[in-house]
Amino acid sequence: MSTSHPRGLYLLFATEMWERFSYYGNRALLALFMISALSFDKQFTAALYGQYTGLVYLSPLIGGYVADRFWGNRRSILVGGALMAAGQFTLFLAGSFYTRLELAIPLFYCGLGLIIAGNGFFKPNISSMVGQLYSAHDSRKDAAYTIFYMGINLGSFMAPLVCGTLGDTGNPADFRWGFLAAGVGMLLSLLVFRTLQHRYLHAPDGAPIGLPPRRLSAEEKQRVDTSLTTVDLDRMLVIGVVCFFVIFFWSAFEQAGVSLTFLASESTDRTLFGWTMPTAWFQSLNPVFVLLFAPLLAQLWSVLARKNREPASPTKMAIGLLLLSAGFLVIAVGVQQIAPGVKMSMLWLVAMYWLHTLGELCLSPIGLSLVNKLAPAKFASLLMAVWFLANAAANWFAGVLAGFYPEAGKPAPVFLGWQIGNLADFFMLFVVMALVAGALLLLLTGALQKRMHGVR
C-alpha cells in the first residue's frame, strides 16, 4: 500500500470497512425479512424501510454534536459501534423467534432503533477523523477520502455476498444467520479500532486526535463561543449550499434500491449464457465500480493538481451531478427498447451504474473532504452530520419520486405539470433534475469559491 498517507488512514479504512459490511449486510436482508419472516405487506415494508434509512442519516446530528461538545470522536465511535453490534444481535434474536411474532416484532424494532442510534455516533465521527490526520490545507485530503471510500465499498461489496448468502436461503429461519454475521462484522470493526487507535491516530504534529475537547475555563469559554469569524461563517454557508445540491444527487442515485430495481426485475433481460442473474446482483455493480475506478480518479486529480489544473471541489461535485444525469439519459434511451414481449438489455443498466459511480466518486468522497476542510474544528463532526442530513432528506425524497414510476393499467402520474406516460418520461425526470442541479452548481462555483477563502 502507498506509504504517502499516514497509517491512521488505513486503520480508519479497516474500521469503516467492517462497519459498512455490517450495515449493508443487514440492509440487504431487511426488506426480505420484513416480508417473509414478519409477514409485513409490501407497502408497509417500503415505508418502514424509507423511515429507517432516513433516520440512520438523521441521527448523526446528535452523534456529531455530542462528539464535538463532550466525548470526542474516539469514544463516540466506540459507543456507536457497540450500539450497532447490539442492534444486529437483537435482530438475530428477532430472527430466532420469527415464529412468535409477539416477541419477534418488538425485538425487530428495538434492533433497528439501536442501529439508528449507533450509526449516529459512528458515521459522522469516523468520517471527520479521516481529515484530522492531515494538516488543515494538505492537498492529499481528497485522495485520502477517496481511499477511505474504497474501504466503505469493499465492505458494501462483501456484505450482500456473505450476509445475503447466509440469510436469504428461502427458509425464514435462516435470516438470523445473516444478522449474526453482520453483528460479528461490527465486532471486528470495534476490535480493530480499539486495539490500534492509540498507535495510529495522531495529527501530523504527533498530537493524538479524536479525544474529548479540553475543558475550558469560564473566561476561555466566552472567548471561544464568540470566536466564529466571518471566514468561518462564509465557509459554513458553503457547506449548507453544497449539502442542498447533494440532496438532488442522492435522491436520484438512491433510485437504485427502488425504481431501478423494479426496472431490473421486471423489464430487463437478465439471462447470461442461459442463466438468469438475480436482480439483487445489480446492487454489487456500484461497489465494484467504486473499487475499480476510485484509484483512477484519485490519480487523475493528482495529475491535474501537478499541472495546476485540478478543478475545485464544487466544480467536481457539479461534474458528479452531470455524470448522474448522463447515466439516467442512457436508461431513458434504453427503456425505449421495451415492448410487449421485449425486455431491455442489461448492458444499459451496467453502463448507467458505471456513469453513476463515476459521478458518485466526483461528489461523495470529495464532499466529505470539502466539509472537513471548511468546518471550524470545534464543529467538525456536527457539520459532517449536516452532510449526512442531506442524505436523510434525499432518501425520503427518493421514495416520493419513485412513487411516480408508471404502472401498466394505471393513469399516468403528473409531476410538476409533467405527465409521466411511460418509463422514458419517468427517467427523463432524473435527467432533467440532475442536469439543472449540476448546471446551477457550476454557475455558483465562482461565488462559492470566494466564500471558501482559499480552501479548494
Binding site for ligand GLN (CB under 6 A): 20, 152, 250, 364, 391
Nearer to ligand GLN, 20 or 373 (CB): 20
For ligand GLN, the closer CB: 76 or 391: 391
CB of 56 to ligand GLN, least distance (A): 10
Closer residue to ligand GLN (CB): 59 or 96: 59
Cβ proximity to ligand GLN, 24 vs 427, nearer residue: 24
- Our CB check for ligand GLN shows the closer of 369 and 391 to be 391
| C-alpha cell of residue 184 | 460479528
CA pseudo-torsion sign 338, 339, 340, 345: negative
Q: Taking the complex as a whole, how short is the minimal distance between the CB of residue 153 and ligand GLN, in angstroms?
A: 7
Question: What nine digits make up the cell of 170?
Answer: 428461502
DSSP for residue 70: I
Strand 275-276 vs strand 271-272: parallel, antiparallel, or unpaired? antiparallel
Minimum distance of ligand GLN from residue 60's CB (angstroms): 11
* Residue 59 backbone dihedrals phi, psi, to 5 degrees: -60, -25
For 114: left if phi > 0, alpha if psi spans -120 to 50, otherwise beta; the answer is: alpha
Residue (154 or 335) nearer to ligand GLN, CB: 154
Q: List Cβ<8 Å contacts ≥24 apart for 105-112.
A: 105/38, 108/34, 108/38, 111/87, 111/179, 112/52, 112/87
Q: Shortest distance, CB of residue 58 to ligand GLN, whole angstroms? A: 13
Rounded to whole angstroms, the Cα distance separating 343 from 141 reads 44
Cα separation, 73 vs 57, in Å, equals: 17
Cα dihedral 304/309/315/316 (nearest 10):
0
Phi, psi of 420 (to 5 degrees): -100, 90
409 dihedral zone (left: phi>0; alpha: psi -120 to 50; beta): left
Locate 222 and state its grid cell: 466566552
> Cell triple for residue 103?
416477541
**Least Cβ distance, residue 142 to ligand GLN (angstroms):** 16
Minimum distance, C-beta of residue 345 to ligand GLN, in the bound complex (Å): 27
Residue closest to 283 by CA, chosen among 264, 266, 268: 264
Q: Which is nearer to ligand GLN, 319 or 394 (CB)?
A: 394
Compute the least distance from the CB of residue 152 to ligand GLN, in Å. 5
- Shorter beta-carbon distance to ligand GLN: residue 12 or 428: 12
Nearest approach, Cβ of residue 87 and ligand GLN (Å): 16
